[in-house]
Each structure stands twice: as structure tokens, then as C-alpha cells.
Amino acid sequence: MSIFSKFSSRPPASPVEFIIAGLGNPGRDYVLTRHNAGFMCLDVLSERYGFKTDRLKFRSLTADVMINGHRCLVMRPQTYMNNSGEAIRDAAAFYKIPPEKCIIIFDDIDIPFASLRVKRKGSAGSHNGIKSIVYHLNSDNFPRIKIGVGNKPHPDYDLKDYVLSVFSKQEIKALESVMEKACDAVELIVAGDIDAAMQNCQITVKNN
């Protein structure tokens, strides 16, 4: 058997089944800011699975990863938060991935700090990145993993300044277990058990 026939007899690679997108803003100025909680979660996921999101594709830094036997495109959109939907739309269209298989990880100011919420679908709320995704996918029927970053400390505090503020060392430490749980949720959703993710991976923290 020739080497050419050996290669041709191999089964084709499985298609990409899921998009896993962590939201944030690119660049050093935004590292470890509240709005980059989605990027931070992908750091934990990349450590767990031993990959790097270093391939520029669909205006994102990406990695092609197998998770629980399913091929996933992991994405860090580089479009800045408010245009996140453009990158996810392009990837979803290319791989013909429906919204319900686009898993979005992002910061949420409307739940207490260090809380975790897993939702099958829902409205965009006040989050501009999610608004962009809903608009460009023409659907809100996508699973989302929401990482609580807390609300601004005072009503007069500028919201933009707050979400672009850097986590303290104590806050980063407190988020470690939250990020791990978020990655557990990703694994369950990819395995087809979003109900288990919603039941077992959520973290509830009461406001002081």
C-alpha cells in the first residue's frame, strides 16, 4: 500500500460542533478587568485542556479543541466587546453552527460578585456584548455562562469605568473556584446535558 492510499483511507476529521466564546476586550490595558471575565475563564479552560488560543481567525484568537469527544472552536473575539457578535456570526456561518451550540461566557454586573449562572437562553439585559451577539445571530437561543462581577459600588459611579476596572488580588483569588465551575459547565453543555450544568454548576452568593 502506498503512502498516498494510506492517507486517503483515513476518515475525515469531525466537523466543528460547538463554539465556545469568552467575551472581553483585547490588549494589555484590559487584562484582568471585570469586562474580561470571559477571557479569564478561557485561560482556565486552556490550562485544563492544554491548548492556546493563538490562531487568528474570524477576527478572534482561536483554538480547535476536542472536549468530551466533541470538536469545539474556542474563541476570544478581538473586535472589542460591543462588536463581539460580528466575530461569532462569522464563525457560526462558516461552520454552520446553530445558536443553541454557541456557548458564551461573560461578565454580569446584575448578579453578586463570584456568583455563577448558567442559562439555556434569555435576553441580553444590559450587556452590550450579548446585545451584539443576539443581533448578529438573530437569536437569543444560545447558552450562556454568566460570571458575577458585582454591581458598581455607588449609583453615581460611571458604569464604563466600573466594568473596565481591574480586579483586586483578593477578588481574583475568590474567582478561582468560579472559573473552574464555569469550565465544568462548558463540559456538561458540550456533552449535551445543559440541565446538569444549570443544576450543579451554579454558584449563589448573597449581597452583603
Q: What is the pTM of this model?
A: 0.93
Q: Which of 35, 127, 136, 154 is catalytic?
A: 35
Distances (CA, A) of 190 to 42, 45, 75, 114, 142: 15, 13, 15, 23, 13
Considering the domain boundaries, does residue 205 fall inside one? no
Supply the CATH number for residue 118's domain.
3.40.50.1470
Count of the separate structural domains present in the chain: 1
Residue 127 appears among annotated catalytic residues: no
Tell me the C-alpha distance between 3 and 154, whole Å. Answer: 68
Contact (CB, 8 A) for 18 and 102: yes
The one-digit pLDDT tens for each residue of the chain (208 residues) are 444 444 433 444 789 999 999 999 999 999 999 999 999 999 999 999 999 999 999 999 999 999 999 999 999 999 999 999 999 999 999 999 999 999 999 999 999 999 999 999 999 988 999 999 999 999 999 999 999 999 988 888 899 999 999 999 999 999 999 999 999 999 999 999 999 999 999 999 987 5
The predicted pLDDT at position 153 comes to 86
Considering the domain boundaries, does residue 141 fall inside one? yes
Considering the domain boundaries, does residue 76 fall inside one? yes
Contact (CB, 8 A) for 100 and 142: yes
Task: Report DSSP letters for 56-83, one per residue.
Answer: EETTEEEEEEEETTEEEEEEEE-S-GGG
